[in-house]
């Protein structure tokens, strides 16, 4: 299993309701394109995180489909992506370690 967490900070003047709806649209597009789960959470009154889970880290390596790309740009119009983290479970991490010849 793999996961990606992205932090988003609201742009000045952006409507919080519109930002939330854009985050929901991104989560729905991610699920429609094969993510196991995708949700967003408010972390402060001006920032959210999206958390997307997939069966494999390869999900996050591929080019986004048209609906996901559209949703990312819609959210980007309202919020700045502050940071991104990719997480992999211990089994996949160990496999990557062995593949590297360690």
Architecture of domain 2-99: 2-Layer Sandwich (3.30)
Q: Give residue 50's pLDDT band: very low, low, confident or very high (50, 70, 90).
A: very high
pLDDT over threshold 90, residue 93: no
What average pLDDT does the structure give for the chain?
Answer: 95
Give the pLDDT confidence of 57-68 residue by residue, as tens digits.
899 999 999 999
In the sheet that holds 37-44, the strands lie side by side as: 37-44, 47-54, 2-10, 79-88
CA–centroid distance for 59 within its chain: 11
Asked whether the predicted pLDDT for residue 80 surpasses 90, the reply is: yes
pLDDT cut 90: percent of the chain above it: 81
Cβ–Cβ < 8 Å for 32, 67: yes
Mean pLDDT calculated for residue range 37-44: 98
């Amino acid at each position: 299993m793999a996961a990606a967490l992205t932090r988003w900070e609201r742009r000045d003047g952006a409507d919080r309701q519109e930002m939330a709806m854009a985050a929901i649209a991104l989560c729905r597009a991610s699920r429609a394109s094969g993510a196991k789960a995708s949700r967003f959470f408010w972390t402060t009154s001006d920032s959210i995180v999206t958390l997307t889970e997939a069966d494999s880290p390869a999900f996050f390596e591929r080019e986004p489909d048209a609906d996901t790309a559209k949703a990312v740009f819609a959210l980007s119009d309202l919020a700045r992506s502050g940071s991104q983290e990719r997480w992999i479970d211990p089994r996949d991490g160990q496999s990557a370690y062995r593949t590297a010849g360690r």
